[in-house]
Structure 1
Amino acid sequence: MNKHKAIATPTKTKEILNKYGFSFKKSLGQNFIIDVNILTKILEKAEVTKEVGVIEIGPGMGALTEQIAIHAKQVVAFEIDQRLAPILEETLMEYDNVSIVYQDVLEADVASIILEHFEVGQKVKLVANLPYYVTTPILMKLLMARLPLASITVMIQKEVADRMAATPNTKSYGSLSIAVQYYTEASVVLHVPKTVFMPQPNVDSAVLHLEIRDKPLVEVNDEDFFFDLVRACFGQRRKTLRNNLVRHFTDEYTKEALEIKLQEANIDGTRRGESLSIQEFADLANVFSG
């Protein structure tokens, strides 16, 4: 551990906020972490070591960035809020293994930035306290881009973490669970109280760990169609698969034609979407797009 007082404490955070007259922007979902133990736990769950390169999104005033810099080989952080530039310059000045990219990660060419900053063959992981309002778009963009990431470990809203890691026949299981698990092995590794944030969010938080798969969990003929079909099957959760499919494919297939597709996939149309495994969804999608 380094000599100076960590950023992630209530006093140090308030001191920096006051010094720079910084005010939180609600629209950017800014909630800074003020507990070093939580940050250390996140890095343990992510298995960050001195050989690993790390990408961070939304460094804020650098509380997590600092801990990553101490434990990893190097860190590249994306920050959308230019107002934080002078703060980050001060808080991270003694770390020469940190680069800040002032860009919205949703618009950035992350693949090029990885190539530019990390060595070929180096293990790169994503570790972040994500702004809650854009968690899903950010994670889906990164997963669909098939970036050379080994894993993703993120602090997000507990409810979203539960949905991403959910299994069939549970309330949280839905199209998001399938989209995330198609690319990764997902698990919720830590629950985090509201008290470790400034300002405190109104929702509970959790750390989600995604281990990137070498290849998608199931084989599908047409990925876009597969995800579209999955969303359709969860269109109205209380309705049967048959009803959701009839509603979705109303212009393309008759009820009878859909019934034949379900039979071909060996799936009972009276079941609900939440009872199907990802493999069953793949089988059904492949019957349509075979």
Structure 2
Amino acid sequence: MAERQTATYLNERFAAAGLRPLTRFGQNFLIDLNLLELIARSAEMRKTDVILEVGTGMGSLTTFLAKAAGAIVTVEIDDNLAQLSQAELEQFPHVKQLHVDALKNKHTLAPELMDSVRFAMEKLGEESRFMLVANLPYNIATPLISNLLVCDTPPDRMVVTIQKELADRITAAPGSKDYGALTVWVQAQCRPEIVRIMSPQVFWPRPKVDSAILRIDLQPERRAALPDLKFFHETVRALFFHRRKYLRSVVCSGFKGRLDKAQVDAALAAAGYTGGERAEQLHVEQIIGLTEHLRQAVISASES
């Protein structure tokens, strides 16, 4: 079936079923066979790997993944696509399809996702790895990637197709217009790289923007070096909430009720800052250091 996923094939299948792609679900199907193979190849899967795919679609990428992975949990929110793809995937007993919204809400994954992943990992044993490999619907890419890195069991690797604009944000350098909270959140724990830029012509229907295949490799030692992941996540979001404001102002605002202005000034000075800097100027390592000084200041303030 994967080899038949052309624009003509999809058009005919949808027409025969009386369907059309739904914009609200971000349905843009990748129709270039070489790019489907590139996504699967970039994941470097083993037979002990558990793959989470969000956006089953017609099951085209799923069939490539099924040839290399030990288990696949694939998620499709659309009733009609779930039925069409399930018929194609019945030949793969190690593929489990979930018919749910991948997100319970903006900041929380649907519990079925990680429950299914953990169950599959237990069955495959200690050598199993968890990966996200997917042609992601544009409208859920940011919260999905961000929330997976909050999990106790984050993916060892993510290989995803997303909007090029989002890929640029995740891989951005300090001082650039794309550098922000998501950049720091991902780069503090992972090494992201753009594998390939893709034009709208390789999708059906064609989106209005360029896309990218992005690979994100978890760096466990960097993640383990963050003493309080939840605090770090919340602080980074606060630092970039008003990105044009100076550091002292955004910290005072973000820590209102926990630190007074004198305590903020002391924490900034201890971290080596005057407060006249902007968060977007700081490298990821600098933000990690600043966040730890703020965390210690909050602990001290609560104890006094």
TM-score normalised per structure 1: 0.89
The root-mean-square deviation of aligned C-alpha atoms, in Å, is: 2.3
- What letter matches 1:82 in structure 2? D
Q: Which moved more, 1:42-51 or 1:138-147?
A: 42-51
Where does residue 204 of structure 1 map in the other structure?
A: 210
Query: Could you say what secondary structure the match of 1:144 adopts?
Result: coil
Q: Which residue of 2 aligns with 1:232?
A: 238
Q: Any idea what SS the aligned residue of 2:245 has? A: coil
% identical equivalent positions: 33
> Does the CA-based 8 Å contact 1:50-1:72 persist in structure 2?
yes
**Are 2:55 and 1:53 aligned?**
no
SS at match of 1:99: strand
Q: For residues 14 and 244 of structure 1, do their structure 2 counterparts lie closer, same or farther at Cα, with a shift above 3 Å needed?
A: same
Q: Who is 1:214 aligned against?
A: 220
The reply on whether 1:157 has 2:160 as its aligned counterpart is no
- CA drift at 1:95: 3.6
The CA deviation at 1:86 is: 2.8
> How big is the shift at 1:44?
1.8
In the aligned structure 2, how far is the partner of 1:72 from the partner of 1:205? 25
Residue 271 of structure 1: how far off its partner (Å)? 1.7
- Secondary structure of the residue aligned to 1:169 is coil
1:125–1:152 Cα contact (<8 Å) kept: yes
TM-score, structure 2 as length reference: 0.85
Q: 2:189 aligns with which of 183, 187, 191?
A: 183
CA drift of 1:259 comes to: 2.2
1:26-51 per-residue CA deviation (whole Å, 9 max, x = no partner) reads: 21111111111111111122113455
SS at structure 2 position matched to 1:117: helix
Match of 1:265 among 234, 258, 271: 271
Moved more, 105-114 or 90-99: 90-99
User: Could you tell me which residue of structure 1 aligns to residue 118 of structure 2?
Assistant: 115
Deviates more, 1:36-45 or 1:246-255: 246-255
Larger deviation, residues 6-15 vs 54-63: 6-15
Tell me how far 1:129 sits from its aligned partner. Answer: 0.8
- Aligned partners of 1:226 and 1:285 also within 8 Å: yes
Aligned to 1:40: 37
The answer as to whether partners of 2:2 and 2:59 remain within 8 angstroms in 1 is no
* Alignment-mate amino acid for residue 103 of structure 1: V
Distance 1:9 1:222, change over 3 A: same
Give how far 1:15 is off.
Answer: 2.2
Q: CA deviation at 1:130?
A: 0.9
> Counterparts of 1:184 and 1:25 in 2: how far apart (Å)?
33
SS of the residue 1:238 aligns to: coil
Change (3 A) 1:255 1:76: closer
Unpaired runs of 5+ residues, structure 1, are: none
- Show structure 2 runs of 5+ residues with no match: 104-109, 297-304
Moved more, 57-66 or 208-217: 208-217
Deviation sequence 1:125-152 (CA, Å, 0-9, x none): 2100111111111112221113263211
